[in-house]
Every structure is written in structure tokens, then in C-alpha cells.
Amino acid sequence: MTKRIVFIGAGPAGYVGAIKAAKMGAEAIVVENDRVGGTCLNRGCIPTKALLASSDVLTAIKESEEFGIHIDGKITPDFAAIMDRKDKIVERLVNGIEFLFEKNKVKMIKGIGKITDRNEVTVIKDDGSSEVLKADAIVVATGSSPAKIPIFPYDGKKVLFSDEVLNLRTLPSSMIIVGAGVIGCEFGMFFNNMGTEVTVVEMMDHALPLEDREIGREMERVFKRKKIKLMLSAKIVKVETTDNGVKALLESGEEIEAEMMLVAIGRKANIQDLGLEQVGVRTENGRIPVDEFMMTNVEGIYAVGDVVPGPQLAHLASAEAECAVENIMGKKCIMDYSAVPRGVFTDPEVAGVGLTEEEALSRGYTIKKGTFDFRGLGKAQAMGQLTGKVKVIADEKTGKILGASIIGPHATDLIQELVAGIKYGLTAAELGMAIHSHPTLSEAVMEALKDVNGDAIHKV
């Protein structure tokens, strides 16, 4: 008998889970009141990367003389055209997911889904009509949205979240960005490169507070070089909009003003009005706790992605959805969080996996660490990309890799080797013995791995 699985939400968790289910022989139905792809495709990962790609091209043109290329004439970004290009890329990818749905016979129903029984989802459609879907299993994959914090008078015009920033058609002259995390750093660098005067305000004492402190300090130096004003250990206590923009008062008494403010802190899980209480699904701290099989406390109801505890990452959401589907279909999967990569698509990029040095020490590990600067690579010298390093943390007792951090060119691609190393329990010595092609950026990973045991060849 074919199993029917209903997914509430068509983001990176819902759409991936639905296609996986269909490929495994299930009848997959997705309920979504917006476009497929969720925040990641429509208002997050993909559109921001499209903007940053334009920013990278602009940087390459500005620095072309360093490579012996002379460009005559004025070089100016066309902000509206950059935004249009971003929209076209998103549209193509949305169409691509819809095509995959069609080819895999995944049914999508437009509307708001609510769990009305442990095996039933009721969909309220745009025209007010409703449809009841019976299901063998239900997967909650409704994602998250920016948290509205009372101190910030959000109006979508002068005080914005990332959603509204992505819809701008006129470049602001100045911007205050609240938060030096992933979103704040990515947008900060993009707008700085476009010509906006950027001030980033961060409560913690270093940039990228969830990453390795040493890597955060490297990012601070990059900000300084790019003339992005970064205010650390700074708390905003009052915000008001003015005729000219927005004004923020800091706890220190200092006032800062700009044309716009981007609030880049805090996201809340979209679990309201889903009927969770009605069927007895437990929630905790605004999320849905699940077991190692991604099932809630109610049998047959699963939750994946941003609605469950843990990092809110698109690729993690997809992996959780695939694991949930395998369990629903009778193929046991235990979700493994030991090797989840993290990425920040700034210039240079930042990536991490596993434990930071601070986390490893706080958990009682005695560690060994190895580092290698990109400056020491022939490929980095040829590319003119000298900023950054690879850092590897290993357990002194076993030699196994506990974590790694990279800041530098293509960091988000290079981290994958270290993800595999942690996933399969390799030691730094074992992974470092793998032959790496020369000249490549991946040699920095090899050298850092060898440096854990003092064996790096190209490091003094």
C-alpha cells in the first residue's frame, strides 16, 4: 500500500523531503501558501548570493590594474539592474523546483495548512475554500521568519528586515546594520561595495560571534580595510525614525544616524496556527522538539528545518527532511549533527564545521591545533587572494578532528573536505596524508592538517 505523506511548507526542507518521498514510492503532497523554495530561495541564500556575485565582479574590475588590466572610463554599479538579475535567477530556480515536482509526481496545494488530527491536514485556500488531506505521516517544514523585536520600530521602509532590503530599487546612501552575524556581514559588505556608508552594531565583543573567535578577529580586520565601521560590545537602547532616515541611541550614550536600518538579528520558527496544540505536539522555547528520527512526541508527525532546535541552515533542513522521510518509509535513519558545515559568503568567505576552539575547550577537550595562511600558497598569490587562513582543531588524545574554520577565498567550498573528515572520524594525520593537487587552494587545508602535528612543509 502506497504511503501518503503531507508536507506543510515547500522550503529546502519541504520540497526536498517531498521529492525524496516520491522517489521512494510515496504519494507526496506539499501544502504551501507562498512560492516553492521558502526563505532560502526567495528571500535568503540564493538572492543574497546573486547580489554578492555582482559585488565580486565590481571588486574584480576595481582591482583589475593589479593584474595588468587597464579599464578606461567610469565604473559604476547599476543597482536596479543588479536587483533585476537577482530576481531572474530566483525565478529560474523556482521554476526548476516546480518542474521537479511535476516530473516526480509531487502534488502541490496552494494554501495554509493546519493539522486537524494526527493523520489529517486541512488546507485553507486563497478563495476561502478548504480541503481535508488524510495522511499516513505529516512533516512540519514551515521554516522561520525575522523576529520582530519591540525596540526596533519596523516599518519596512526605514527600519527593515532582509526581506525588504532584497526588494530595494534605490541604493541607500547610508545604513545601520544591527548584528555582525552572517546576514549582517554579508549585507554589510555588499552595500559597502556598492557605495553605501555602512555601520555595523554588534552586542558581542567580536564579529561573527558564533564562529571561532580567531576567525572573527580576522573578519574585523577585513572590515577595517574596507572602511566598514564596526561597533563591538555596543547595545542599541532606542531607535526612532526621522524625516531623513533613522536614529539609534546606544547604551554608551552615543547616537548614530543613517538613511536606513537593517535589523539582522533573530529569527522565530513559524509554528503559530498549525494546530500543534490541538493534536498534542509539544513545543519548547518556540521550537518543536524531535527525537533522533525527526519525529515529534506524537507518532506519525515529524518536524524538520528551522522549526526544530539547532542551527537554522538550509542544507541542514534538507538533510533532516531526507532523514525523516527514510524513517517514515521504514528505512532507519538517525540524524547526525556532528559535521554540519556553516558558511558566510563575504569577501573573503568564512566557513566552519564541528567545534570552534572555544567550544572544544569548554567541553573539556585537550586540543592540538594547526593553522596555515593562504598567503603561503602559490595559487592564492596568483589569484591575488592573500587574506585568511585555515584552522584545524584536533583532540590531543585521539588525534581526531574536532572542528575546523576557514576564512579566505572559496572557504565555503574548501570546508567540505573537513566535513567529511569529521563525519567519518578521521584524524588530522590521516586526512592530511591525502595527496592534494598543486597549485590549488586546497593545499592550505592539507598544510593546516599537517600543522596539527607540526608537520606542515611550507610553514616556518
| CB 333, CB 323: distance < 8 Å | yes
Q: Is 181 labelled a binding residue?
A: yes
Closest among 359, 411, 378, 80 to 222, alpha carbons compared: 411
Spell out the domain ranges in the chain. Answer: 4-146+268-328, 159-265, 342-451
Residue 308: the pLDDT is 98
- Whether 4-146+268-328 shares its CATH topology with 342-451 is answered no
Q: Is 129 labelled a binding residue?
A: no
Look up cell 536606513; give the residue. 260
Superfamily the domain 4-146+268-328 falls into = FAD/NAD(P)-binding domain (3.50.50.60)
pLDDT tens, per residue, the chain with 460 residues: 799 999 999 999 999 999 999 999 999 999 999 999 999 999 999 999 999 999 999 999 999 999 999 998 889 999 999 999 999 999 999 999 999 999 999 999 999 999 999 999 999 998 889 999 999 999 999 999 998 899 999 999 999 999 999 999 999 999 999 999 999 999 999 999 999 999 999 999 999 999 999 999 999 999 999 999 999 999 999 999 999 999 999 999 999 999 999 999 989 999 999 999 999 999 999 999 999 999 999 999 999 999 999 999 999 999 999 999 999 999 999 999 999 999 999 999 999 999 999 999 999 999 999 999 999 999 999 999 999 999 999 999 999 999 999 999 999 999 999 999 999 999 999 999 999 999 999 999 999 999 999 999 999 8
Q: What is the pTM of this model?
A: 0.95
| CB 324, CB 302: distance < 8 Å | yes
Residue 266: the pLDDT is 85
Phi and psi at residue 132, in whole multiples of 5°?
-100, 125
Number of C-beta neighbours around residue 220 at 10 A: 18
Q: Is the dihedral of CA 191, 193, 196, 199 positive or negative?
A: positive
| CB 18, CB 28: distance < 8 Å | yes
CATH code given to domain 342-451: 3.30.390.30
Residue 381: the pLDDT is 97
Q: Is 182 labelled a binding residue?
A: yes
Catalytic residue among 206, 436, 438, 458: 438
Residue 302: the pLDDT is 98
* C-alpha dist (Å) from residue 267 to 313, 324, 328: 12, 23, 29
Residue 438 annotated among the catalytic residues of the structure: yes
CA 84, CA 226: separation in Å to the nearest integer? 26
* 107 alpha carbon, distance to own chain's centre: 28
Residue 127: the pLDDT is 87
Q: Is 369 labelled a binding residue?
A: no
Query: Is domain 159-265 given the CATH code 3.50.50.60 in the classification?
Result: yes
Residue 296: the pLDDT is 98
Q: Is 121 labelled a binding residue?
A: no
CA 129, CA 123: separation in Å to the nearest integer? 8
Residue 128: the pLDDT is 87
Q: Is 185 labelled a binding residue?
A: yes
Q: Is 49 labelled a binding residue?
A: yes
Closest among 172, 210, 204 to 188, alpha carbons compared: 172
